[in-house]
């Protein structure tokens, strides 16, 4: 018996000319939004409260144009110095978290060379880290300087993106910065859970969720084009209890605590059991 064809994004919602036109208008709107805000953004550098507000404004505009709704649970910690650690599903995580959080992303060094996204990441003052041991001391120093200025860091400790249905184990080596004291103050670590839950107003099932995730060897441009064809996407972001690494005992214990907290929150959101 012939196996049924797996659903594909192009079959989701029976795209036609109207959907393609809307997707094109959304993409054009995002490009224009970036061009309009770029001069103001450059004038606000280096990091200041004004730039933080502009960051949030830019990403909220991107989400509105892309028809993405963000639902928030929990509270962003006001404590400093602060490290946010989140699961990673898609490039959409960047505007979602960027629209909410006052801080900069810690990204893989290769992202700096990506067309489009690399430029946006640089404008957002992302910290690009390499896996070379020879670069470890310099990178740690830069991260410490950012934290010392009161600028939170946003980290994806899975080390890669997942398929939206699970959360990969967190790499404990990426928690090294939390072992430091900044001006005599311990670094607080706040887990953050990101879950893609609804599209077209209905829950996204297990088989459909990976269409919104960006992982493996997927090409960015066609994936983004398909996402822009979709109906309103709802993303749930849950802020969990912040902890000190010293109270948890070690980097490994911190990674396990954060992973367990995030995985549990993602599971609740995907099952519809998150608090209202």
Predicted confidence at residue 276, as pLDDT, reads 52
- Helices 220-229 and 17-43: angle between axes, nearest 10 degrees: 110
- pTM of the predicted model as reported, rounded to 2 decimal places: 0.88
- Token pair listed for 81: 């110095």
Question: For every one of its 276 residues, what pLDDT tens digit does the chain have, with 9 covering 90 and above?
Answer: 333 333 444 444 444 788 899 999 999 999 999 889 888 776 666 666 777 888 899 999 999 999 999 999 999 999 999 999 999 999 999 999 999 999 899 988 788 777 777 777 777 778 888 766 656 667 788 888 889 988 999 999 998 888 889 999 999 988 988 888 898 899 999 999 999 999 988 999 887 887 888 887 788 888 899 899 888 999 999 999 999 988 888 899 999 999 999 999 999 999 987 765
Peptide bond between residue 89 and the one before it cis (omega within 30 degrees of 0):
no
Q: Which domains does the chain have, with CATH numbers?
A: 16-271 (3.40.1130)
Predicted confidence at residue 187, as pLDDT, reads 93
Q: State the Cα–Cα distance between residues 86 and 156, nearest whole angstrom.
A: 5
Cα-Cα-Cα-Cα torsion 216, 219, 221, 225, nearest 10 degrees, comes to -70
* DSSP-assigned letter for residue 110: G
Contact 125, 174 (CB under 8 A): no
Predicted confidence at residue 5, as pLDDT, reads 39
Q: State the Cα–Cα distance between residues 35 and 208, nearest whole angstrom.
A: 33
Q: Which helix (H) or strand (E) holds 165?
A: none
Q: State the Cα–Cα distance between residues 38 and 27, nearest whole angstrom.
A: 17
Predicted confidence at residue 134, as pLDDT, reads 57
Predicted confidence at residue 47, as pLDDT, reads 62
Predicted confidence at residue 131, as pLDDT, reads 65
Chain centroid, CA 40 distance in Å: 24
Q: What is the pLDDT of residues 104-144, one digit of tens each?
A: 999 887 887 777 777 777 777 788 887 666 566 677 888 88
Predicted confidence at residue 23, as pLDDT, reads 94
Predicted confidence at residue 211, as pLDDT, reads 80
Instruction: Write the CA distances from 154 to 20, 63, 73, 242, 271, integer angstroms.
Output: 34, 19, 18, 13, 26
Provide the 3-class DSSP secondary structure of residue 271: helix
CB within 8 A of 67, min separation 6: which ones? Answer: 26, 230, 231, 232, 233
Cα-Cα-Cα-Cα torsion 65, 69, 72, 78, nearest 10 degrees, comes to 0
């Amino acid at each position: 018996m012939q196996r049924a064809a797996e659903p594909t994004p192009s079959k989701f919602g029976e795209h036609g000319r109207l959907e393609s036109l809307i997707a094109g208008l959304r993409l054009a709107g995002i490009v224009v939004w970036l061009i309009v805000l770029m001069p103001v953004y450059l004038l606000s550098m280096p990091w200041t409260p004004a730039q933080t507000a502009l960051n949030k404004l830019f990403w909220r505009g991107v989400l509105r144009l892309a028809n993405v709704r963000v639902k928030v649970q929990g509270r962003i910690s006001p404590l400093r110095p602060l490290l946010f650690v989140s699961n990673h599903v898609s490039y959409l995580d960047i505007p979602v978290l960027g629209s909410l959080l006052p801080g900069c992303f810690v990204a893989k060094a290769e992202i700096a060379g990506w067309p489009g996204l690399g430029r946006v990441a640089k404008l957002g003052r992302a910290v690009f880290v390499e896996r070379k041991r020879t670069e470890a001391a310099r990178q740690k120093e830069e991260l410490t300087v950012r934290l010392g200025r009161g600028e939170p860091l946003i980290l994806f400790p899975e080390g890669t993106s997942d398929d939206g249905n699970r959360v990969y184990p967190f790499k404990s080596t990426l928690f090294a910065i939390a072992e430091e004291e900044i001006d005599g103050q311990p670094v607080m670590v706040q887990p953050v859970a990101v879950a893609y839950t609804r599209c077209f107003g209905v829950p996204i099932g297990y088989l459909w969720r990976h269409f919104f995730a960006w992982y493996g060897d997927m090409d960015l441009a066609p994936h983004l084009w398909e996402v822009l064809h979709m109906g309103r996407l709802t993303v749930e972001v849950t802020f969990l209890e912040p902890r000190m690494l010293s109270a948890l005992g070690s980097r490994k214990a911190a990674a396990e605590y954060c992973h367990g907290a995030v995985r549990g929150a993602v599971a609740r959101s995907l099952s519809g059991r998150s608090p209202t």
